[in-house]
Structures are given as C-alpha cells and as structure tokens.
Amino acid sequence: MIQVSKESASGQRPTLSFEFFPPKKPEAEPLFWGTLERLSGYRPDFVSITCGAGGSRQTGGGELVRKVHEQTGLHTVAHLTCVGASRPVLTEMLNFYRDCGITTLLALRGDPPRHEPAGTLEQGAFRYAEPFVAFIREYFPAFRIGVAAYPEGHPETPDLEQDQLHFRRKVEAGADFAVTQFFFDNDVYFRFTEECHRKGVHVPIYPGIMPVTDFKQLKRLSELCGSALPQWLVDRFAATRDDPEAMLRTGVSIAVEQCRDLLARGAPGLHFFTLNQSVAVPSILEELAGEYY
C-alpha cells in the first residue's frame, strides 16, 4: 500500500490521496498551486498529476510532476499513458521520473487525442495497459505501479466479466495498487472488489471520489468514462440547477455520505478527483474529521 503519513503506515487511518491535472493556461496556475497547498494540509499519502495523451506531449506534465515533488515534498505520483507512444519515448519519460526521485506511477493506456488519425493506438509500442505495466516492471523494477480500475466496466469493454479479466491481467503483469473511475453506487465498488478477491487479486483498490460542483460538467464526464448517474442522484440535483451554492452543498453532502459508507464497509482509502478546485474536498474532509481523518 502507498503510505506516507505515520497514521496510515500504522493502520490508524485509511489512505488519502488527491488527483490534479496540469493547468492548461498560465492564468490557471495560481488556482492549481493554491489548491495543492490547501489540500496538502490534510497530509495526503500521495497526490497524482495527470498528463496529456500520447508520447512526447507528456513532457509538460512531467515537468509539473517534478516541480510538485521538489517544491512540496509530497509523495507525488506521475500518470503515464502509453497510447501512440514509442518505446524510446516512454523509456525517456521513465528515466526522467526515476532521475527526479519519483517512485510511483499510474500506468495507463490513455485516450488518443481527438485530432490524431485513426490507428493511433496501433502506432504506439503498447495498445493496452497490461503490456505497458509488464514493460515497466521488467525494465524499471524499482517503481511502484498503479493502474486504473472500472467497477462499472470500461466503455470499450463488452461486459463486466471481460473487464474483470483485463484488470486481473494488469495486476498479474506487475501492478501494486489500483484507483477506480468515479462511481456513485457503492455496491458496484464492493461487488467489483469482492470478485477480485474471489479471483485471487488482493492489491489495494482505492475508490475514486468525484465531488459534484457542476452537474452539467458531471454529465459530460459520465458520458465520456461510462460512469452511471443513478436516478436518485439526478433527483437530488434537480432543484439546484440554477443555484451554484445549493449545488455545492448537495454535492458535498452526497460525497460525505458516500465516503462514510465506503470506509465503514472496509474500503482501504479515498482518492479524490479535485478538478483543481479547493472548496468541495476540504468541506468533505472537515465532515469526516475525527472519524477517519
């Protein structure tokens, strides 16, 4: 398990982690760093930084990973996608992270950029995350490797059984832990993890939590990643569409309920998709303070 703080290392609290994305414009950088600084006060076990899809386009994200690691001292996890990237490019990035002192990666297939021609997946060294994980494990064995998990199934996978098989193969290839796509039905997560345990997969699977602050944005994200929006969730936001403050309060309340239930039922920790925002996650953690964090 990825553990940094004394509390989590001694088993006294569940793992806590945050995900950020590189600012797309210079004017967005103060928000990124401000959010990172605020959330670092909760002593996360790790923070992860996403990257753009495809080969050398990841270099900017790599520089941000380095800066976060060097300037904050936080356990910084680099996302690394293999889609459309050659072995030399991926090897260069892996050497870069190793030399920077990064010890943990999230190894992902990634999505091909929209402007790239069809067949981008075929042009890269690895079409899927499984052989990419195996490559890292063989040639860069010192890295701890995380992978993605999809409790509701990956949008491109025909059924949950096939998705479970793909996940198990990633673990068998050398993954140490997993972070799930966001979901709102906790039973889906526990069915997934129980099936993993039944099949002999026992790596930590951290549930991904998406605090809802913008319901329209959430709908777009759910369509892209295949995460279901239960009717009860839609109904609870129905009266908040034109009231941002009410939407935030509702989103925080839902996330607190979800997190409490996940931790009470044995989830190993929480991984928050922050979207570089500094309001929702602190509000959620303040509600959980004294119980788990």
Terminal-residue alpha carbon distance, the chain: 17
Is 19 annotated in the active site? Answer: yes
Tell me the C-alpha distance between 70 and 64, whole Å.
Answer: 10
Closest to 209 (Cα-Cα) out of 147, 266, 263:
263
Strands 46-49 and 76-81, by their bridges, are parallel
Angle at which helices 29-40 and 59-72 cross, to 10°: 40
The contacts of residue 99 (CB under 8 Å, 6+ apart) are none
Tell me the C-alpha distance between 198 and 196, whole Å.
Answer: 5
**Structural contact between residues 189 and 183, judged by C-beta atoms closer than 8 angstroms:** yes
- Other Cβ atoms less than 10 A from the Cβ of 33: the count is 17
Closest to 202 (Cα-Cα) out of 182, 178, 185:
178
Catalytic one of 19, 152, 245, 286 = 19
State both tokens at 285. 């953690």
Tell me the C-alpha distance between 65 and 71, whole Å.
Answer: 10
Q: Which residues are part of the catalytic machinery? A: 19
